[in-house]
Amino acid sequence: MDTMRDRFAPVVSRLLDEDPRVAVVLAEIGKDAFHEAVARHPARVINVGIREQLLVGAAAGMALTGLRPVVHTFASFLVERPFEQVKLDFGHQGTGAVLVSAAASFDWPAGGFTHMAPGDVALLDTLDGWTVHVPGHPDEAETLLRHAVAAGDDRVYVRLSVQSNRQARPVDGARFLTVREGRAGVVIAVGPLLDAVLDATEGMDATVLYATTVRPFDTAGLRRASEAAGTDVVLVEPYLAGTSTGAANDALADLPHRVLGLGVDRRELRRYGTVEEHTAAHGLDARGLRERIGGFLGAAAGVGSGV
């Protein structure tokens, strides 16, 4: 199967053809995929070189003239390195753009920690007004990229990953989808971790919600699910563990509730290897998830013995 990133340039190239507001800003990474788009729209596909402060600042300047910039590089260099530009040049200037990252958590484990940014969503969460899409399948990435570009001058982050679920689901760019209904807990699976969550919770009496838009957090969706499934909530996020714990707490603030936040650990592994090995090391494979989700939801969820 192709990856979300394989879809990125073709989708955005079509948007460049369709909408004269759309522009693409790159910092070398990903430029080859825009070869044809550059030929068709040389003034709207800009590669600034390996200059990430300029990448973000220039995109903001383009937005101030009325364009809709789509800005792309690896998450480490898109969100973390130029974070003050992200904060000021979009938020404080009162404008927006679509930031599209790749390789955020551990898509390239052999590349090591310099090319990992599991804290990207948590960082953006310190800022006001960002929409965050975390697709779990290349088809969903296409849908959410289109939503992002069409969202006026909003500030939108789209987190592309090589990790993917087996099948795409009808995501709408706003709400959580109910994938499974139960009565003894709500498990919110974010983006590409859905398949692992479904395998991990097989046989448990738990509701599984699928989240591909995590900011704004679908407070109403969680509350609705908790009416039947109760207020024990497990978040399974493909980025820093606990990133959405506060959002889930806020959603249930007036109710007694418990929240377990699972995701990528803070600890630097200092390991290379494969995506599968890193997934397991962070306890995000079906086996690791089943143990921790089962332990949290307990006997009421009817936890079986192993996967």
Write down the residue that tokens 């690791």 correspond to. Answer: 288
What is the contact mask toward other proteins in residues 11 to 50, using x (rule: CB under 8 A)? Answer: ---------x--x-x-----------------xx-x-xx-
Under rule CB under 8 A, residue 59 binds other proteins: yes
Count CB atoms within 10 A of the CB of residue 30: 18
Contact with other proteins (CB under 8 A) among 84, 172, 202, 250 = 84
Taking the complex as a whole, the smallest distance from the CB of residue 69 to other proteins amounts, in Å, to 8
Residue 99 half-sphere exposure toward CB, CA atoms < 13 A: 35
Task: Verify binding: residue 99, other proteins, rule CB under 8 A.
Answer: no
Among 18, 35, 36, 92, binds other proteins (CB under 8 A): 92
The window from 91-99, 129-137, 271-279, 282-290 that contacts other proteins (CB under 8 A) reads 91-99
Single out the segment in contact with other proteins by CB under 8 A; choices: 56-64, 119-127, 142-150, 163-171: 56-64
Q: How far apart are CA 75 and CA 238, in angstroms?
A: 13
Cα(192)–Cα(190) distance, rounded to whole angstroms?
6
Q: How far is the CB of 84 from other proteins (least distance, A)?
A: 7
Beta strands in 87-139 (DSSP E): 98-102, 130-133
| Separation in Å, CA 61 to CA 25, 56, 89 | 11, 9, 8
Give the tokens for residue 54: 């300029």
Q: Which of 19, 28, 31, 51 binds other proteins (CB under 8 A)?
A: 51
Contact 208, 200 (CB under 8 A): no
Report the SS3 class of residue 171: coil
Counting contacts by CB under 8 A, is residue 60 touching other proteins? yes
Nearest distance in Å: CB 45, other proteins:
9
**Amino acid letter, residue 91:** G
Question: Site residues (CB under 8 A) for other proteins?
Answer: 20, 23, 25, 43-44, 46, 48-49, 51, 53-54, 56-67, 69, 84-85, 88-89, 92-94
